[in-house]
Amino acid sequence: MIYLDNAATTKPDEGAFLQAKEYVTQKFYNPSGLYKEGFALQSELKKARSVLLSKVADETAFEFIFTSCGTESNNQAIFSFARRGNAVTTAGEHSAVLAPFAELKNRGIAEPRYAPLQKDGRVDVQKLLALVDDKTCLLSVMHVNNETGAINDVNQIAKEVKRKNPRTIVHVDGVQAYGKLPYKLAKEIDLYSVSAHKIGGLKGVGGLIKRKSLTLPPYLFGGGQEGGRRSGTENTFGIMQFFYAVEKKFASLKADYERLRGYREKVWAGLDKDIFLRISDENTSPYILSVAAVGLRGEILLHMANDKGLIIGTGSACSSNAKTRYSRVILACGYDEKTADGVLRISFSPETTEEEIESAVGILNEVANDLKNRMK
């Protein structure tokens, strides 16, 4: 089976899993325990926290709070700071941001405002900034679009937002960027969400990077873990597996970036241009390539490819239960429903091989031509 739906989730890194195994079989203690084994675990979590943070941020300016996932991190950021006036985001955000924004309106907490997208999925920065005023309490923008791979210059956006309203809290959904792109967070970013299972970690572990000078109200109450910002006994095994996976991932980050960019272009070069239209341009994340088989149903192509041993996506896996069959992100990019209906998302990981790429191209061309001929 060829797996090319890595934007949805990645295979857990086996080496990291084996390294972390002792936190299930031996070091299973509660990190909050007052006995020496509990203190020892706190020390190990502190080391992991420091490394996970240092890969993308200045440790003197930011801190790392463990959560259960990127969705929880996004929700905590939004509901902790969108409490008055208006809150600004983009039309291309993940549902873990758009659903909380809709809830802000439902609860009468803050007025949600949405900036439009450009053709490749990046936000229209000027129109985004135009929505920010003296009553904007929060702005949330994704670093990498999970459907098109479009990269937003979040550091520059944050600087422009702070220049316009220094009191606006800037949150970035970095789930599709962390461990994949080379970058460091600007001091103007207040909050940044990450997730373990997108880069070889386990599901059930995430993080919220927070500017130290920012007071973060708790979203979950209870035992006071994570400095009182996120109660709940820490998932020690999951955190340490995340830590080991990150150590490995960042060691080859730049090499993986270049290699996967080559794979992405090889896939596009091999696809039948009489059928497929490119959605992701050359400046997007090398981990994602979205194309559209215009006039064909993407979901049908997904199942046909699956039957031949290829796993791909049609967009965000978290939107598979949506009532509409068309990707709201692709529509927001300005494409019509006929194009949006045929979208396929091909997403890579460092474990992807050139042989898999070649086979995937053959399968996609075969099933697309087969379906096209059936519809004549």
Beta bridge partners of 115: 90
Q: Is residue 318 flagged as an active site residue? A: yes
Instruction: Please tell me the number of Cα atoms within 13 Å of 360 on its side-chain side.
Output: 28
Q: Which among 315, 289, 284 is positioned nearest to 302, based on CA atoms? A: 315
In angstroms, rounded to a whole number, what is the distance separating the alpha carbons of residues 176 and 62? Answer: 20
In angstroms, rounded to a whole number, what is the distance separating the alpha carbons of residues 250 and 77? Answer: 26
The tokens for 231 are 């109660």
**Contact predicate 170/87, CB 8 Å:** no
In angstroms, rounded to a whole number, what is the distance separating the alpha carbons of residues 220 and 228? Answer: 9
CA distances from 166 to 115, 129, 192, 222, 235 (A): 20, 13, 18, 33, 36
Distance of CA 344 to the CA centre of its chain: 18
In residues, how long is the chain? 376
Q: Which of 69, 137, 318, 333 is labelled catalytic?
A: 318
Q: How many degrees, rounded to 5, is the angle at CA 322 between CA 319 and CA 325? A: 100
Amino acid residing at 127? K
Residues with a known catalytic role? 318
